[in-house]
Structure 1
Amino acid sequence: MKKFAIPTENGKLCSHFGHCQQFAIINVSDNALTHESYLNPPPHEPGLLPTWLGQQGVTNIIAGGIGQKAIQLFKQQNIEVTVGALAKSPKQLVEDFLANDLVSGANACDH
């Protein structure tokens, strides 16, 4: 089973990972979406989200932009990060990922 976390703002991918309104959490089993829920993140603090999402059982992140330090911290939690995704609904992003059609590109926070 995979568990995706997607930072959202107004129901779509938020371009800045650490300042999203909510995280969509989508469970996938046998390449099918099995459950979707939303979690409010804790107050933004550098380095906090990788541990927090790891505690939620997240295995994959789909993001528009995310800092390099956060990517390293997610790797330490054995969480795979995909960056540069387009502002789509979380469900569509996960479906694109599963179909190997997820468009990703430049990290919007690569600074």
Structure 2
Amino acid sequence: MKIAIPTAEGKLTPHFGHCEKFAIVTVDENAEIGSPEFITPPPHEPGVLPQWLAEKQVTLIIAGGMGQRAQQLFDNNGIQVITGAPAELPQVLVQQHLNGSLTTGINLCDH
């Protein structure tokens, strides 16, 4: 499984579309978490990021905030979205997700 987390300065950034880099974290069949690979995304335009991340075989995004249309586009590309996550290190968020302790709040994006 590959999980993408939008980041700024190495931690989750609250607004999905304005991230500096995506941390792509691979989790193997034994639930072992690999080191994040930080990748610069293409320019933010509607519909580009869902296809780009799908091509990288991402199946889950953990985000702070994301608009409804973006969530629909990710769903159309077979990528699950979790919003309302806190500004933490990618490895921490992935571990919390895997052990069921990821606490999410409100979706910080309303468009």
TM bin, normalised by shorter chain, reads over 0.9
Q: Any idea what SS the aligned residue of 2:27 has? A: strand
Query: Which residue does the alignment assign to 1:81?
Result: 81
Query: Which residue does the alignment assign to 2:104?
Result: 104
Give TM-score scaled by structure 1 length. Answer: 0.95
Report the RMSD for the aligned CA atoms in angstroms.
0.9
Determine if contact 1:50/1:74 at 8 Å carries over to the other structure. Answer: yes
The count of aligned residue pairs is: 110
Name the structure with the higher strand share: 1
Determine if contact 2:26/2:33 at 8 Å carries over to the other structure. Answer: yes
1:76 partner amino acid: N
Task: Write the mapping of 1:7-22 to structure 2, written as runs, cut at 5 A.
Answer: 7-22=6-21
Specify whether residues 10 and 35 from structure 1 end up closer, same or farther in structure 2 by C-alpha distance, changes over 3 A only.
closer
Take 1:11 and 1:36, find their aligned partners in 2: how far apart are those partners? 10
Take 1:27 and 1:35, find their aligned partners in 2: how far apart are those partners? 8
- Structure 2, unpaired ranges of 5+: none
Query: Which residue does the alignment assign to 2:34?
Result: 34
Deviation at 1:35, TM superposition (A): 4.1
Determine if contact 1:84/1:108 at 8 Å carries over to the other structure. Answer: yes
Q: Any idea what SS the aligned residue of 2:34 has? A: strand
Residue range with higher mean Cα deviation, 30-39 or 98-107 = 30-39
Query: Which residue does the alignment assign to 1:93?
Result: 93
Q: Any idea what SS the aligned residue of 2:36 has? A: strand
Determine if contact 1:28/1:35 at 8 Å carries over to the other structure. Answer: no
Query: Which residue does the alignment assign to 1:24?
Result: 23
1:10 partner amino acid: E
Give TM-score scaled by structure 2 length. Answer: 0.95
- Structure 1, unpaired ranges of 5+: none
Share of identical aligned residues, percent?
51
Task: Write the mapping of 1:58-77 to structure 2, written as runs, cut at 5 A.
Answer: 58-77=58-77
Q: Runs of 4+ in structure 1 displaced over 3 angstroms? A: none
